[in-house]
Amino acid sequence: MMKRHPYSDELGRSLIRFFQDYLPTLRGMSRHTIHSYRDTLVLLLQFLSAKRHRGIERLDLAAINAESVGQFLTSLEQDRHNGIATRNARLAAIHTFARFLATEGPEHLAAAQAILGIPFKRGARSAPIEYLEQDEVEALLNAVDRTTVPGRRDYALFSLMFNTGARVQEVLDLRSCDLRLQRPCQVRLQGKGNKVRVCPIWPQTARLLQRLVEERPYPLDATTALFVNNRGDKLTRFGVYYLLRRHLATAGANVPTLREKRIHPHSLRHTTALSLLKSGVDFQTISQWYLSASPELMREAMRRLEQRWEDVQ
């Protein structure tokens, strides 16, 4: 039987401590950030595994060094066609892991310092976030087949995202205990940094969510996720992206402008913000909307937005 190299065990133990103790406890990072860091290290380990022609379980800490990290970053841009912003985000996660390793033992300090010396690339400019016009929102929602249970789930999901302007993860984290479906209708959203805010919703959105709850094919208690896939598992961000792209492809047959846009879940949040602005809601109120505006202020803004979109739903 082949013996495991002691450094391979050390890599595994380090990863466990990094994700179970260091990030959530010592650094207090949000679940979303931890998931992002996890994705980065998974990609890095997969890259190193392919580069060294050995299984991930046979990698050791020595494999993660400044040279290999530099090669990984180059691969992100050349092979995966990632932009500078994504490349820098991946590097930030690796920098955090390097700092953790430096605190783990002095023997890791030199390698960690070399990794921390890898600079971020300048010139990363965020591309303008695409958004949907009112007729495009209507086309997207009309493209959903509401005669099926999954279709009604998708319709409720996108309607809620347009209604609240919530981040996709905030919507996916919703539980039945976060819903108030009687007047005043509202949902409780947990955002970045575990900040909680209450967001009003339209009565028609509340009715969509009520039917979603009633039609759930899987047991639903107060703390289970509201939006699930066909297996009863909580929908993921990738799952929402897939559903959005599928329905946009259908909608594009009737509204050609949709074929020219690069729409992703965050575009729906941007659409809500711009619709509020076009409805006459001032910029300061919109900014507070996404942070911690009072329910009264949000309801007034919601009334204006509802007038603009009254024919969409």
- Which residues belong to the active site? 167, 192, 266, 269
Nearest C-alpha neighbor of 101 from the set 115, 112, 93, 90: 112
Cα angle vertex 238, ends 135, 289, to 5°? 55
Which residues contact residue 309 at a Cβ distance below 8 angstroms, ignoring those fewer than 6 apart?
Answer: 134, 137, 162, 275
Contact 21, 81 (CB under 8 A): no
What Cα–Cα distance (Å) separates residue 303 from each residue in 187, 200, 207, 231, 285? 16, 10, 17, 37, 13
Q: Is 165 left (phi over 0), alpha (psi -120 to 50) or beta?
A: left
| Residues 141 and 178: beta-carbon distance below 8 Å | no
Instruction: Tell me phi and psi for residue 255, to 5 degrees.
Output: -125, 95
d(CA 212, CA 119): 48
Cβ neighbours around 262 below 10 Å, total:
9
